[in-house]
A and B are shown apart, each in its own frame.
Chain A
């Protein structure tokens, strides 16, 4: 359609672009500039080039924070994505009446993370927490511990909470995808004598591969950006056992006033997030191409045989 006035399209797009540029693009560029300076937030800026980046890469706490967040991502891939997939498979076999189950499991996704974090820090509380009380009740007294205060368990404890929140979210995505799987395909497999377990892993899961790949992408890129749960439950402690990049850089910028250094860490984190996203998208594209080539080859082979 031709605009009735040449300027109209610009007037429609301008407000959105202006707000976005003001609150995101300009600060994005400025954060990059800060990262090349030594600055405490109010005094003079001293240009130091890439020194902040050199320091960040050598900073053992910053390194630890990346190790922790990668461990967190790997565990959440299991307790969120894999568990979500299994739950979706279970729900699929019931269908009727499963709405209440889906409601129960999806509820935590909607809650503010601070609510979840406080609730679970009570569950883990050493004095009256649900977990220790349950273990004592079951006669497993020696298993009780200060879950969030123990370097051995703190990170894992947070992963469990993350699973409690997001397993239902991924279940919902997978359930929606699984319902799209054509029933003829499933019936055909069933006639061939395949059991439900085999049908799930060999027929249904390959068909919803797309949804699974998106889920992995979300889980990985979202994992690197975590903050709320960690900040409220442990704020990086004990002894950096749950330190992740964002808790550490927030500490640097807003507690110790190292704005330049914190910005450099923020830029590194951004590069990692964007790179992880691009790599996963590229992997998907390659797999797609190979899949297509493979199918073409199969089709040709079939033709040749016939």
Chain B
């Protein structure tokens, strides 16, 4: 066999292996969606069979009666406010730490950097008693405040790296033109930070959208639950109604896959940058 034919053969084999792997990764998801169109008895008796018809009635029930729409709205509110807060606060702090020398800067940055290594477990117990006393539990703030606080250290760090790479002359020139501190931040630094802000927005949004432990502890009121805890409540409400449960899982999963297919590059970059501190 010539070497080019061999390469082609190897390539085909690798491709086949990859396709099989992709299938294995996708099978649970496909099974989930297919089962959402089946009756409970069909789920039990013929787990591998295709549904007899594509019937979205279970999806509609899960969305309306099952409250999934409410949970999605809550997640959207909490995520949006937290991400905006993270972007605003971290870009301002990163601007100060990157472009100015001021007394206490090292100490402040050091304190903030503690957030890069401290696990959630090191503070959530006291946070929960504190929030209970301040009567913050069972409000959106009980999630927005900690999500923002937890997102700030990494966001500030990444944005500072971006800002550090910009030439000092740029800022000096703006200063000579008579721009004040806030003007330089808002009109010069922020526009230049756009790619960095997008990266931060992606991983912050995903971690707010998916956060579970604090949401579990701070929100008991079903009308305020976000998707993760709402789904858990849903699953214990309809504990044996499997086709409804599969429908709920599908409703949450499919839009996320769609978003990922469209923005896969940004999301991949955002998530890997977010974890590679």
Contacts and interface: CB of A to CB of B under 8 A. Distances in A.
Interface string B53-87: 00000000000000000000000000000000100
A118 B111 contact: no
A133 B47 contact: yes
9 smallest CB-CB distances across A and B, nearest first, come from: A23-B149, A30-B126, A12-B96, A16-B93, A27-B126, A27-B127, A8-B181, A270-B122, A27-B123
Contacts of B27: 130
Interface of A, secondary structure class, is: helix
Contacts of A90: 14, 17-18, 21
Contact of A103 (B31, B43, B261): B261
Given A16-B90, A103-B260, A106-B260, A28 B122 contact: yes
Contact of A9 (B43, B100, B246, B276): B100
B29 A107 contact: yes
Contacts of B216: 231
A10 B119 CA distance: 27
A4 B181 contact: yes
A139 interface: no
Contacts of A73: none
A51 B121 CA distance: 20
Contacts, number: 283
Contact of A254 (B104, B149, B180, B217): B217
B171 A123 contact: no
A185 interface: no
A1 interface: yes
Interface string B167-201: 01001100100001110110000000000000000
Given A87-B21, A113-B212, A270-B119, A94 B14 contact: yes
A78 interface: no
B210 interface: yes
Interface stretch (A140-148, A151-159, A261-269, A291-299): A261-269
B130 A17 contact: no
28 contacts: A1-B100, A12-B92, A13-B105, A16-B92, A19-B145, A20-B152, A20-B153, A24-B150, A25-B114, A30-B129, A31-B125, A104-B26, A106-B268, A112-B210, A112-B228, A114-B212, A115-B252, A122-B32, A123-B28, A123-B31, A128-B43, A169-B275, A172-B271, A221-B119, A224-B119, A266-B122, A266-B124, A267-B122
Given A31-B125, A137-B48, A112 B231 contact: yes
Given A12-B96, A128-B47, A277-B117, 18 more contacts: A1-B171, A3-B102, A8-B100, A9-B96, A12-B181, A13-B105, A16-B152, A19-B89, A19-B152, A22-B149, A98-B18, A102-B268, A105-B22, A108-B25, A130-B28, A168-B25, A173-B272, A231-B212
B109 to A, nearest CB: 8
B266 interface: no
Interface string B95-120: 11101101011001001101101111
Interface residues of B, number: 100
Nearest to A136: B47
B148 interface: yes
A112 B252 contact: yes
A93 B123 CA distance: 45
Chain A interface: which size bin?
Answer: 35 or more
Contact of A115 (B89, B105, B175, B253): B253
Interface in A1-57: 1-6, 8-10, 12-13, 15-17, 19-31, 33-34, 41
Nearest to B257: A107
Contact of A110 (B175, B228, B256): B256
Contacts of A87: 21
Contacts of A105: 21-22, 25
Contacts of B231: 112, 114-115, 118
A115 B230 CA distance: 11
Contacts of A1: 99-100, 168, 171-172, 175, 184
A225 interface: yes
Interface string B233-266: 0010000001001100100110011001100100
Contacts of B85: 19
Contacts of B224: none
Contact of A15 (B14, B92, B97, B172): B92
B126 A31 contact: yes
